Amino acid sequence: MFCPTCLLSRSDAQDLTTQQALPTHDNARTRTTVTSRFCFFVYDTHLHGLHLVWRLTMSDERYEDSRLYRIRHSMAHVMAEAMLERFPEAKIAIGPPIEDGFYYDFDLPRPVTDEDLAWVEKRMKKIIGGAHDFIVREVSPDEAREIFKDQPYKIELINDLEAGRVDENGNQIAEAADTITVYTQDTFTDLCRGPHVANTKELNAKAFSIRFKPPAGAYWRGDENREQLTRIYGTAWETPEELKDYLHRLEEAKRRDHRVLGDKLGLFTFSPLVGKGLPLWKPRGAILRDTLERWLRQVQIDHGYDPVVTPHVGNLDLYRTSGHYPYYADSQYNPIQVDDEEFLLKPMNCPHHIMIYKSEMRSYRDLPVRFAEFGTVYRYEQSGELQGLTRVRGFTVDDAHLFVTPDQLLDEFKDVVRLTQYVFDALGLTDFRARVGTRDDGDKWVGDEALWDKATNAIIQACEELGLPHYVEEGEAAFYGPKLDFIFRDVLKREWQLGTVQVDYNLPERFELEYVAPNNVRERPVMIHRAPFGSLERFIGILIEHFDGAFPAWLAPVQVMMIPVADRHFDYADRIAAQLKQHGLRAEVDKGKARIGGKIREAREQRIPWMLIVGDKDVENQTVSLRLRTDEDLGAMSLEAFIALAQRIIDTHSMALQ
């Protein structure tokens, strides 16, 4: 059995131990997120030497071959049958299994109501109980057209199957079919490749739901210029317990939604008057963000990066030269006209950094040049795309651009990857996949194909030399070059794209960058674009959800909450808090009216790592009583002992609290 993502075989995987490096595998290609979930690895770094060790976890079988896949596929057909009874005039589109469930797209005469879904769900249970066989038949395209004569979407699919599938550039991507398979259960027949369960008896009427997610709009064939259909999602499992688990996980994800927590913890807010997609950082969010920034800034300085600072706008010609303007005009704020010049709110930092590079004559002795900036950029994202902090219109990138000689490229690239891994590791983010994004077949790219190949090969070679398992995904590149993305899987097993490293031969060409080589000839440098966090906003949004707001102590906006037992202990609490602040700890005193239990509850809900309770006993003995947000009561200790403990945890970026 092979992992569909990396093509590493299961027997190979079994031979691996945590202390062995993985063989590399770069010939896998996949476009489906379903299959790509099946190969995960966890890395384990020794912080100092940055020596990488990999472990692979792998499922036993491909999703497409699994029983769940057939169950979900069959469920989709059962749902379509019930929907056609509810909406006899409905046109059916497609209904595939997806991760955790299935969907079916319909063209409906009116919006679906919750009553409709309740009816359909009930009807589905009935159909399942009817013990209907799934019968497969092979028919000719003409027969198929007769069967689906009232279903225009199916006719379109049949015609395409018969002609052989063709992509948007007219390249044939599938053989012309002379037979078409159709599946029938009960009264419903669908054009379908299968596979299905043999009989609806194999479906569990108590282990599915179509009401866990509201109906949604979806374009026919994913094309925004075509019909908007109604997509109904379902989730289906083998047992009711699995369904319950899944619904529970959804609840958990909702509960720790960074938009909810961000409000509750006072981290950030939005104002319609400022504009949508433009986050406002409140003091507690800003200190968290500032702490991250200061730390990364220092790590980067240690790695030989030079901080630079550039303005928020730039002349439009700068972005015409870089190519950003022509390629992304739709998703930029309109140019600002001033006198007879046009300016753009900067959508990317690279052109500004390039101009800094160009401001001096560079010798090969100066390279590599590494410019780093927390640069705020603005992109006019489609309004429907905006989402909390994870998709905004103004955000700050932990951006850096490296200008290197071709000889230095590989080592520099590897060093960037090591730095990225160090950063994630220090934050306790350890579950990753690495994705090599290659050039799109379409027209969203610039430059010379040979240079693209060179850049892509450099990335793959670096991955191999680092022993970094990776997979290739076509069409995921930036327009100016291929990239390596780090895909992070959080505690709820959700995937997020975080850091990115890109190799770029094109912008140096476009901006005619040069350095003087040893033989006194002017050569062209190669650029590396990189951002471990990507967007600070998005990254913090992900951190909030991953940690459920309970940040490691070094990042916690408030690290210590003083809880005086009675009002007469306020002075003592104030004095302690002042001393904590002198030691660099972020401490506050809760002088509210609540009793001690209430204050503890509040501090816990605020995810404050340490609570120091002070009452008569503490004043008398000159102690503080420590309680953790995790519920442990560590009892009385001297202030010095607590400060030593807190500083040790903070300085080591420990995830623990004691």
Q: Which of residues 592-611 bind RNA (CB under 7 A)?
A: 592-598, 600-601, 604-605, 611
Query: Based on CB atoms, which residue is closest to RNA, 276 or 648?
Result: 276
Tell me which amino acid residue 478 is: A
Q: Is 252 in the site for RNA (CB under 7 A)?
A: no
Instruction: Tell me, residue by residue from 327 to 366, as one string, x for binding to RNA by CB under 7 A and - for no binding.
Output: xx--xx--------------xx-x----------------
Q: Is 545 in the site for RNA (CB under 7 A)?
A: no
Count of residues of this chain found to bind RNA when the rule CB under 7 A is applied: 75
Angstrom CA distances, 501 to 228, 333, 415, 482, stand at: 36, 26, 11, 9
Determine the Cα–Cα distance for residues 591 and 599; give it in Å rounded to an integer. 9
C-beta separation of 597 from 589 below 8 A: no
Q: Is 270 in the site for RNA (CB under 7 A)?
A: yes
Determine the Cα–Cα distance for residues 382 and 298; give it in Å rounded to an integer. 35
C-beta separation of 292 from 540 below 8 A: yes
Q: Is 101 in the site for RNA (CB under 7 A)?
A: no
CB of 180 to RNA, least distance (A): 24
CB of 52 to RNA, least distance (A): 25
| Residue whose C-alpha is closest to residue 610's, from 567, 576, 572 | 576
Contacting residue, 244, 494, 617, 648, with RNA by CB under 7 A? 617
Q: Tokens in use for 224?
A: 């925004």
| Residue whose C-alpha is closest to residue 96's, from 199, 236, 212, 1 | 236
Query: Could you identify the residue written with the tokens 């690895």?
Result: 41
Query: Based on CB atoms, which residue is closest to RNA, 179 or 382?
Result: 382
Q: In the range 547-576, which residues lie near RNA by CB under 7 A?
A: 564-568
Q: Is 111 in the site for RNA (CB under 7 A)?
A: yes
CB of 389 to RNA, least distance (A): 10
Contacting residue, 142, 251, 633, 640, with RNA by CB under 7 A? 633
Instruction: Tell me, residue by residue from 289 to 328, as one string, x for binding to RNA by CB under 7 A and - for no binding.
Output: -----------------------------------x--xx
Instruction: Tell me, residue by residue from 373 to 412, as one string, x for binding to RNA by CB under 7 A and - for no binding.
Output: ------x-xxxxxxxx--x---------------------
CB of 383 to RNA, least distance (A): 3
C-beta separation of 322 from 401 below 8 A: no
Q: Is 217 in the site for RNA (CB under 7 A)?
A: yes
Q: Is 418 in the site for RNA (CB under 7 A)?
A: no
Q: What are phi and psi of 365, to 5 degrees?
A: -70, -25
Strand arrangement, sheet containing 560-564: 587-589, 560-564, 610-614, 623-628, 633-638
CB of 53 to RNA, least distance (A): 30
Q: Tokens in use for 485?
A: 């993305």
3-state secondary structure 585-634: CCEEECCCCCCHHHHHHHHHHCCCCEEEEECHHHHHHCEEEEEECCCCEE
CB of 498 to RNA, least distance (A): 13
Bridge-partner residues for 561, per DSSP?
Answer: 588, 611
CB of 122 to RNA, least distance (A): 20
Query: Based on CB atoms, which residue is closest to RNA, 465 or 602?
Result: 602
CB of 346 to RNA, least distance (A): 9
CB of 111 to RNA, least distance (A): 4
Query: Based on CB atoms, which residue is closest to RNA, 108 or 147?
Result: 108
Tell me which amino acid residue 347 is: P
Q: Residue 517: which residues within 8 A CB-CB, separation 6 or more?
A: 364, 405, 523
Q: What are phi and psi of 502, to 5 degrees?
A: -130, 140
Q: Is 31 in the site for RNA (CB under 7 A)?
A: no
Contacting residue, 49, 88, 170, 222, with RNA by CB under 7 A? 222
Q: Is 262 in the site for RNA (CB under 7 A)?
A: no
Contacting residue, 135, 216, 301, 656, with RNA by CB under 7 A? 216
CB of 47 to RNA, least distance (A): 29
Q: In the range 185-214, which residues lie near RNA by CB under 7 A?
A: 213-214
3-state secondary structure 58-126: ECCCCHHHCHHHHHHHHHHHHHHHHHHHHCCCCEECCCCEECCEEEEEEECCCCCCHHHHHHHHHHHHH
Determine the Cα–Cα distance for residues 488 and 496; give it in Å rounded to an integer. 5
Determine the Cα–Cα distance for residues 435 and 498; give it in Å rounded to an integer. 11
Q: Is 636 in the site for RNA (CB under 7 A)?
A: yes
C-beta separation of 217 from 505 below 8 A: no
Q: Is 269 in the site for RNA (CB under 7 A)?
A: no
CB of 481 to RNA, least distance (A): 9
Query: Based on CB atoms, which residue is closest to RNA, 196 or 352?
Result: 352
CB of 563 to RNA, least distance (A): 8
CB of 518 to RNA, least distance (A): 32
Q: Residue 438: which residues within 8 A CB-CB, separation 6 or more?
A: 456, 472, 473, 474, 475, 476, 477, 482
Radius of gyration of the CA atoms of the chain, in A: 29
Q: Is 126 in the site for RNA (CB under 7 A)?
A: no
C-beta separation of 490 from 546 below 8 A: yes
Q: Tokens in use for 626?
A: 């420590």
Query: Based on CB atoms, which residue is closest to RNA, 50 or 278?
Result: 278
Q: What are phi and psi of 32, to 5 degrees?
A: -95, 135
Query: Based on CB atoms, which residue is closest to RNA, 11 or 225?
Result: 225
Q: Which stretch in 14-22, 168-176, 221-229, 512-520 sits in contact with RNA by CB under 7 A?
A: 221-229
| Inter-helix orientation angle 409-426/449-466, to 10° | 50
Contacting residue, 97, 277, 525, 549, with RNA by CB under 7 A? 277
Q: In the range 132-191, which residues lie near RNA by CB under 7 A?
A: none
Q: Which helix (H) or strand (E) holds 229?
A: strand 228-236
Q: Residue 131: which residues within 8 A CB-CB, separation 6 or more?
A: 199, 200, 201
Query: Based on CB atoms, which residue is closest to RNA, 231 or 489?
Result: 231
Q: In the range 479-508, which residues lie near RNA by CB under 7 A?
A: 479, 500, 502
Contacting residue, 67, 248, 444, 493, with RNA by CB under 7 A? 444
CB of 484 to RNA, least distance (A): 12
Contacting residue, 618, 642, 650, 657, with RNA by CB under 7 A? 618
CB of 198 to RNA, least distance (A): 30
Q: Is 224 in the site for RNA (CB under 7 A)?
A: yes
